[in-house]
Every structure is written in C-alpha cells, then in structure tokens.
Structure 1
Amino acid sequence: MLDQSLSAFVRQLRVATMVMLLSVALPAVAVPVVATDVTPVHSLVSQVMDGVGEPSLVIQRGASPHSYSMRPSEAAALENAHVVFWVGEELTPWLDRALGSLAPDARQVALLHTEGTRRHAFRERVLTDMVDHDDHDHDHGAEEHDAHDHGDHAAEVDGHHDHAGHAHEGIDPHAWLDPVNARYWLGVIAETLAEEDPANAAIYRRNAEAGQAEIDGLVEQVRGEVSPVHEQAFIVFHDAYQYYERRFDMNTVGAISLSDATDPSPAHIADIREIVGEYDVQCVFAEPQFNPALVDTVLNGTSARTGVLDPLGSDIATGPDFYPTLIRQLTDRLVSCLGEG
C-alpha cells in the first residue's frame, strides 16, 4: 500500500516538473508594443489594453501637438512600437515624417482617416451668419441615426466649404471631441490589436465594448446637461470645438484666433468685439496654452463672462479615465459659464 502511494506521488511529481519545464521553455506570447500621439488617443488605447499592457504617449500632456520636439525616450517609443495609433498628419505633420524614419515597419493607424469616422472641414470663421445650416442639419440627421444604431458608423461627413483666403484648409483634426467618433475608434483599436495579438483578442474586444457602453451613457448625460444652455451664444479662443458643438447642438458664434500658430489681427479682434454685442454673447472662453490678454481685450467694456476650455485636457491625469473626464470637463465648464445668465 505504501509502495502504491509512493509511486503515485512520484508520478504526480514528474507531471508537475514537466509542466514547470514546459512553462519555462515556452516563451509567453508577446503583447504588441503600442505608441500613441496625444492624450485622448492614449486614453482610448489604454481602455482597450487594460489588463494586457500599457501604450506609450509620445506627446506629453499640456504640450502643443502642432509643433513638438520629441525627447529621446519618446523617439525610442516610436522605434520600438509594433503599432502606432495617432490622429493623423492634419494634427501633427511632423509626426508623419518621424513615423517614416523611426517606425517604418510599425502598423500605423491614423484614426482620423479610418472609414466610419465623422469628419468636418476647417471653418474660415465661426460666425452665426457664416454657418452652413444645411450641413448642420445633415449632421443632425446622422446624430439621429447614431442614437438608434450605435453599431453603424459608416456615415462620413466632410462638409468642405469653398471660402477664399481660408486660414485652415482640409479636415479639422479635433475629431475626438465628438464622443461618437471616440466610440467608433474604440472598435477600430480593438480589432487592430486583436489582429496583432490574437491570444488577447477577447480582452481587447470586451474592453472596447465596455468603453463604448460608457460613451453611450456619457452622450446622453451631456445632452441632458447642455440642453438648458445650448442656444446661449459663446466665443472660443480658437476653432477647435466644432465636433463637440455639432454633436450637442451648441451655439458658437466666434473664434478669437483662426490659427493655432498666429495671433489674430486687430481687425479680427474688432469683428469679435462687435459680435459680442450683436449676438448677446454670454461667455468668451480662453485656453491655457494661449495669450489670455486677447480674451481681456475682447471682454473689455462688455458684460460677457469668461471661462477656460482645453481640447486636450492638460490638467487631467493620463490613462483610461482621461477621455470621459475630458468630455465631462468641457461640459461642466460650458454649462457653468453659460448657465450664469
């Protein structure tokens, strides 16, 4: 009896040893090394990769994505990447060149150009009498569709306008400020990573579905919160918010700066001051990265209030919770300022 027990113990020991040796001999399936450009994209990728890995962030929080000098560690992140998720060259033209030299073999996904992303052209001016209401109505029709069928994001709106002397040309890259785009991008990110890493495909897809459900709730919450103030006129520092405005039917009537790189002319400032009075502007919003004195110039002698909006959430901690926090922050600041009147 003792011999049988001893034999059984020896067999179990051999099996356990073989399992241990096999686990040591067989390398674990490598998780793709992933790099991202800006904090909103980093947040969406972090949500999808939760529990599997963490993406690197090339453009640090609070920095301007339009002209950024990478540190050696950020360049190394691109060199080591298997997959790079970025908005596109419209936001970071310098990164397009860097990817060509540092990450030529990486899978590069420009989210702005993925089929199904809702896109809008840059506007020459954000003025009430310049808004293309036909395009605005068309976008509302798409919103109706989105509200009833979140699984279908095939519709794409480019909405190009032929304005002479356009300060910007082409697609406005701030597309993450439409949460429906972010919802769609979660699916794109999950499917891309599932193809690169089939062993963790179920986790990526499950995480994306959870993020999409959170965005569904977020959209409905924001609609309810902005509803009492959505007709109140306001002015932004630069025209970076049309994706949010169109999604939630907000009433932007002017932008202090038409370009991220240059200060507005005195004539444009005079136009904006006239608009403040003509359209009963309630709030003029500054941005932390730009000259606040320009906002003071616009506000001087008016009853309009001031607030701060930031399309990149420079004061929000990076990570999976960044994106929903960004949308809530924009909403809170808009409603707080516009609701004071």
Structure 2
Amino acid sequence: MNKTLRAFFLSAALLSAGPALAQEAVPRVIVSIKPIHSLVAAIMDGVGEPGLIVEGAASPHTYSLKPSNAAALQEADVVFWVGHGLEAFLDKPLETLGGKATVVELEDAPGLEKLPFREGGPFEAHVHEGEDHDHAAGDGHDHEAEGESEEGHDHAHAEGGGHEGHEHGETDMHLWLDPGNARAIAAEIAAKLSEKDPAHADAYKANLAALEGRLDALDKEIAGIVAPVRDRPFIVFHDAYQYFEHRYGVKAAGSITVSPETLPGAERLSQIRDKVKTLGATCVFAEPQFEPKLVEVVIEGTPAKSGTLDPEAATYDAGPDLYFDLMKGLATSLRDCLGAAG
C-alpha cells in the first residue's frame, strides 16, 4: 500500500511540475535593442519571452550596462545583438559575462543587404571621381534592377575618414530599417533558436512563416504611404535612415550629425542651415532621445518645418508588434511633415 501511495504522489508531483519543466527547457534569450527584440519575440511567440537590454527611451549609442543587464547576460543561453558597430557597450560584457551563451551577431546574417557609412553630415563627400550620381542623396535606386549586383558595386569606398565621432566599421548598422533585411534577420533568429532548442523547432518555423507574411504586407504598405512625398528633400538628426531611404526612394539631403555620440558644433549647424535653404528641404527631423533644440537652431530663418523620427523605437512599447509600429511610424511621420510642408 505504501509503495502504491508513494508512486501515486510521485506521479502527481511530476504532472504538476510538467509545465514548469517544459518552461525551463526553453532557452533564456537576451536581446540588445527593441527593434531586434520585436523580431525575436515574434519568432518565440507561444514558446517563451526574450529579455531586453536597452529598454525604454534609452539609445544603444549612449547606453551604459546596468547590473541587472550583467546578471541577465550571465544567465543567458542565447544573446542576439546587431554587432560591434552599433552596441559598442556590449563588446567587453559579452566576452566576460556571456561566456556560456550562444552569441549571435546579426550583422553576419545571410541575405542582408549592407550599405556603407556615408562620409559626412551633409553627405556630399560620398560622390566619387568619375561618378555622376550620389547615393547618399537618398535616390533609392535598385542596383540589381539596373543590372548591377550589390557585390559588383564597390561599397568599400567608405573608408571612415569622414565619420565624425564614429569608431565603427564600414557598414551602416541600422540594418533593420529595411523590411527585406528584417526578413533575413528573422530567418537567422529562427535558425539559431532551432539549433539551440530543437524541441520547439516546428514552432519557430511556423512563427517565421507568419512573420515573413506580415513583413511582405508591411513593405507594400510603407511604399504606398511615402509615395506622395518621395521627391521632397529633408534633413535628419543623425544618419540612421539610409536603409529606409534606399528601400523606398525617399530623399534625405543630410544629417545634423553623423554620430549621436558627437554633438555638432556651430559650424556644422551653420552648414546644415545653409543646406536647408539651398535645397529647399521641407522638414528637419529630431529624434526622441536627443536634444530637440538643435533642430530649432537649424530651421531658424528658413521655411522648413520640424518633425520627429524614432528609428530605435524609444517611444514604443517592446513586443512582437513593435517593429511594425516603428516602421509605419517612420513612414507616417515623413508623409505628414513633408506633405504639410509641400
């Protein structure tokens, strides 16, 4: 009788612990920034919830790791980040704290289209000898459509000499601002999670398929939103939007600063104000994390209007829908400001 009772209670204990054991089997996943966290959360939907390092309105450009972040990295099984050129604050912690974790640098995801840094806030320095065009003007042309592959187009020319304050490599790291790149990033996320957690590989695969469908629909929606204002030049706070420009053909004419780590001086602000006047830039866009008064200085004495763009999702709540809200928010802000100014 005692053996029967012991077996009964043991079985009951195992049954009650089942969900907890299943939950424990899911990898502990940590993600650096909100836009990438959103894609990871979508892939993990119904399986688990990833942690986030750069929360709230913080920016990866100026972030300092908190003790709670360090503890989370120490316990993590998988860490997703964009790479050295964006989240520089993670370089040393990932070496020292993320020793047991699988660290995935999404800059290396297969299928990404990478663009080089532009060489100055006003962008003109990117025109090369013998070339008639200026990529950096945001012409949005498609190399492949013109019979020229990305591999065949020499993007190695952004040597970094004009990147004021940048300590990054040659690649512009705001990769997520192109839904095509978001697809490539999502596929890499699903692949790495499936390797680490084969028990849930089918769920990751199904979630990836659903996410790809949403990204395709988003791409078409954004193209429609910005179509009426594609020919109207604008100025941005920092040079974060090249992928969005390249995808949708909108015309950023320059940035107040290349790197938000280095605030512009009086000479730079004067250059940008002159550019606003010369080109007839209709809008100058601030960002939530950085000093809005700089934009007021730039538009003073010009007919340009001010707006706000949020490329790193400072004002959005983290979660699987954030990426879609972020991208539609960029498109809508551009349309509303440029349309009103036109």
Moved more, 292-301 or 168-177: 168-177
Alignment identity in percent?
A: 43
Distance of aligned partners of 1:158 and 1:337 in 2 relative to their CA distance in 1, 3 Å threshold: farther
Q: Report matched runs for 1:187-226 at 5 Å.
A: 187-226=187-226
Q: Which residue of 1 aligns with 2:5?
A: none
Distance of aligned partners of 1:138 and 1:242 in 2 relative to their CA distance in 1, 3 Å threshold: closer
Q: Report matched runs for 1:29-178 at 5 Å.
A: 30-127=25-122, 129-130=124-125, 133=133, 140-142=142-144, 159-162=155-158, 164-167=161-164, 168=166, 169-178=169-178
In structure 2, C-alpha distance between the alignment counterparts of 1:130 and 1:229, rounded to whole Å: 25
In structure 2, C-alpha distance between the alignment counterparts of 1:321 and 1:67, rounded to whole Å: 25
What TM-score, normalized by structure 2, do the two folds share?
0.85
Contact 1:283-1:305 at 8 Å conserved across structures: yes
Shift of 1:61: 2.2
Partner of 2:288, secondary structure, is coil
- Unmatched runs of 5 consecutive residues or more in structure 2: 1-7, 128-132
Partner of 1:275, secondary structure, is helix
Q: Does 1:274 align with 2:269?
A: no
Contact 1:234-1:252 at 8 Å conserved across structures: yes
Which protein has the larger Cα radius of gyration, Structure 1 or Structure 2? 1
Q: Report matched runs for 1:5-20 at 5 Å.
A: none
Contact 1:237-1:256 at 8 Å conserved across structures: yes
Contact 2:59-2:314 at 8 Å conserved across structures: no
User: Counterpart of 1:284 in structure 2: which amino acid?
Assistant: V
Q: Which residue of 2 aligns with 1:8?
A: none
Q: Deviations over 1:30-80 (max 9, x none)?
A: 011100000011100000000000000011121121232222222111111
Partner of 1:339, secondary structure, is helix
In structure 2, C-alpha distance between the alignment counterparts of 1:276 and 1:119, rounded to whole Å: 28
Contact 1:81-1:106 at 8 Å conserved across structures: yes
What TM-score, normalized by structure 1, do the two folds share?
0.85
In structure 1, C-alpha distance between the alignment counterparts of 2:229 and 2:271, rounded to whole Å: 24
Contact 1:119-1:158 at 8 Å conserved across structures: no
- Unmatched runs of 5 consecutive residues or more in structure 1: 1-15, 146-153
Distance of aligned partners of 1:155 and 1:19 in 2 relative to their CA distance in 1, 3 Å threshold: farther
Partner of 2:25, secondary structure, is coil
Shift of 1:155: 7.0
Contact 2:139-2:251 at 8 Å conserved across structures: no
In structure 1, C-alpha distance between the alignment counterparts of 2:247 and 2:27, rounded to whole Å: 34
Q: Which residue of 2 aligns with 1:9?
A: none
- C-alpha root-mean-square deviation of aligned residues, in Å? 2.8
Partner of 2:285, secondary structure, is strand
In structure 2, C-alpha distance between the alignment counterparts of 1:42 and 1:203, rounded to whole Å: 18
Distance of aligned partners of 1:307 and 1:95 in 2 relative to their CA distance in 1, 3 Å threshold: same
Shift of 1:330: 0.5
